[in-house]
Structure formats: structure tokens, C-alpha cells
Amino acid sequence: MSSYRLVTDATADLDPHLYEGLPEVVIIPMDVMVGEESYLYGPGGNLNLKTFYAKLREGQFASTSQIVPDRFFATFRPLLEEGLDILYLGLTSGLSGTFENACFVRDQLQEEYPDRKIICIDPFCAAAGMGFLFRCALKKQAEGMDLDALSGWILEHRLHLCHYFTVDTFDHLKHGGRVSAASAAIGSMLHIKPLLTVDDEGKLEVIGKPRGRKQAIQVKLKHMEESLDRSYGNDILVAHGDCEEEAKAFAEQILEKFPDLNILMTTIGPVIGSHTGPGMLAVLYWGSRH
């Protein structure tokens, strides 16, 4: 059985504690522009979460760029030279051209290394959802699952991952073109905290318009009651955009309803945080999405 390495990108929002004790991972950094300054987020980068959210709270806006092919070449080729196969699970094609670039590089390198396997899978999710799925894949690798079996497992299970998140302000969604200026103005006036998910093609979808933070949290809990599936395990992930105390309070509310769950926590990074802004609150878990 050949050795393989799991590769993802900085969108996965994988805090180191989430993969401690699991097989080695490769995380590709991504470019972020905050105000007029350019940064690199991820391993070897020069942007940390504290600085990023501080700048956003000061009123600056951020934008991101897809990973260019050269960075994929620089990441994949050394692994192939080591005799390793590759399974890349990256930012969904529903939100970025990054995945298309990864597939282009895969096709080029497959000709150069015909004896190696390079598998790229679109997870149809992003940010903490992508990280949650990636962590599950790492656990399967640690249990001894081979590359082909793990690829099949991801393809079979990726649409059973539920994503529900709310944002605290429309400002960054409007700036990134995710909502219109008129919708943002009306939503802000009515104190709407839009409930979003990721559809089966990896695209953002607004599925509710609760008013106020408390109602938004109650709506997320209701979705969990209706769709949570414990047959996949008891781990769930709560993610936040620089609102840790609110995230902890949300986790306590979850445990009141589901005391047997194991809640993991992480922070939403700059790649998705550029579009959602401070105050984003999400829950990711295995369940039924339809």
C-alpha cells in the first residue's frame, strides 16, 4: 500500500489543536488583501487572526485571491518526489477558481509522475466545514484507510455535512458582492441576522432571516434538532469570527439539548472572514441536509 499525504488550503480554518496526534498535513497559504496591504495567510504567512479582525473592526475591508497554479506546483511536486501520493481537499469550486487551478496542476503533474496518484476532491464546502471534513479524513487515514477507500468515503459523505451560520453585519457581504446594497440596508434596519448554508454545489445560500442574535441561535438549534445524525459520531464543530465568548455560550446551549456531543471549536480565518466579517457564528455537524 502506497503512502499518501492529505493536502488542503488555508480556507480550512484548521486550528492546530484540531489535528494534533493525527497524520501529517500540508496546508497551502492563501493571499489576502486588507485595506491597501497585501498579506499571506497560512503556514509561512504574515497575517494572524488578531491583526486581521482588529483591522476589520477598525472599518477596513478585505478581499482574497485564488491560489495560482505555481503555488500548487511548488506544493505537490516535492511530495511526489518523496514517492507520496496526494489527496487534495480544497476550497469548493462553488466559491472560487482555486479548485480548478488544482485540477490543472494535477493533470500536468500526472503526466510527469505517471506512477503516482494525485486526487483532487471538491468538498462542496469551505472554511470550518471544509476543516471539519478534512479532520474526519485525517482520522480515517490514521485508522489505516488507503487512498482509494478514503477518496470514496469523502465522495459518499461530503453532502451529509450540515453547515449553518449567521453573520452579525451585512457590511462585508455587501462589500464582497454577496448581497445587494438595498438588501443590506433593509436587513440592517430590521436587525436581520441572515442564516446561511452551503448548497450541494458549494455555493452560499440564504435559508432564513431571523431577527436578532438570540433568534438566529435558536433557529440554528432547531435545525440541529431536525437533522443531526449521531451515526457518524458525536463530534461537532462550533466556529466563530472573533467572538469567542458568544461561541462558548452557543456551545453551552447546544450541550443543554445534546449533552452527549463532543464540541470542537475553531476561529474563522481571513479567507472566509473577509466576506462574513467579525461576529460570524457557525455550527458544523453530520446530518441530513434535505
pLDDT at 257: 94
Within this chain, do residues 149 and 37 fall inside the same structural domain, yes or no?
Answer: yes
For the cut 80, the answer to whether the pLDDT of residue 176 exceeds it is: no
Alpha-carbon torsion, ordered 225, 254, 129, 85, to 10 deg: -100
Residue given cell 500540508 in the structure block: 26
* Domain end point (choices 159, 192, 225): 159
Within this chain, do residues 114 and 174 fall inside the same structural domain, yes or no?
Answer: no
Query: CA–CA separation, 192 vs 25, rounded Å?
Result: 39
pTM over 0.85: yes
Q: Categorize the per-residue pLDDT at 171 as very low, low, confident or very high, splitting at 50, 70 and 90.
A: low
Domain range for 183 is: 160-286
The CATH code of the domain that includes 196 is 3.30.1180.10
Within this chain, do residues 73 and 99 fall inside the same structural domain, yes or no?
Answer: yes
Give the long-range contacts of residues 251-259, CB within 8 A, separation 24 or more: 253/217, 253/221, 254/221, 254/224, 254/283, 257/221, 257/224, 257/225, 258/224, 258/228
The CATH code of the domain that includes 129 is 3.40.50.10170
Within this chain, do residues 254 and 180 fall inside the same structural domain, yes or no?
Answer: yes
Within this chain, do residues 279 and 166 fall inside the same structural domain, yes or no?
Answer: yes
For the cut 50, the answer to whether the pLDDT of residue 20 exceeds it is: yes
Within this chain, do residues 46 and 190 fall inside the same structural domain, yes or no?
Answer: no
* Domain end point (choices 159, 176, 199): 159
* Domain end point (choices 97, 129, 159): 159
Within this chain, do residues 264 and 182 fall inside the same structural domain, yes or no?
Answer: yes
Tell me what the pLDDT averaged over the chain comes to.
89
For the cut 60, the answer to whether the pLDDT of residue 170 exceeds it is: no
Within this chain, do residues 105 and 193 fall inside the same structural domain, yes or no?
Answer: no
Q: Categorize the per-residue pLDDT at 152 as very low, low, confident or very high, splitting at 50, 70 and 90.
A: very high
- Among residues of the chain, what percentage have pLDDT more than 70? 91
Query: CA–CA separation, 111 vs 230, rounded Å?
Result: 42
Within this chain, do residues 280 and 182 fall inside the same structural domain, yes or no?
Answer: yes
Within this chain, do residues 135 and 165 fall inside the same structural domain, yes or no?
Answer: no
State pLDDT tens for residues 204-238.
Answer: 787 777 777 788 888 889 989 999 999 888 999 99
Q: Considering its fold, how many domains does the chain have in total?
A: 2
Within this chain, do residues 164 and 150 fall inside the same structural domain, yes or no?
Answer: no
Within this chain, do residues 148 and 179 fall inside the same structural domain, yes or no?
Answer: no
For the cut 60, the answer to whether the pLDDT of residue 191 exceeds it is: no
Q: Are strands 4-9 and 85-89 parallel, antiparallel or unpaired?
A: parallel
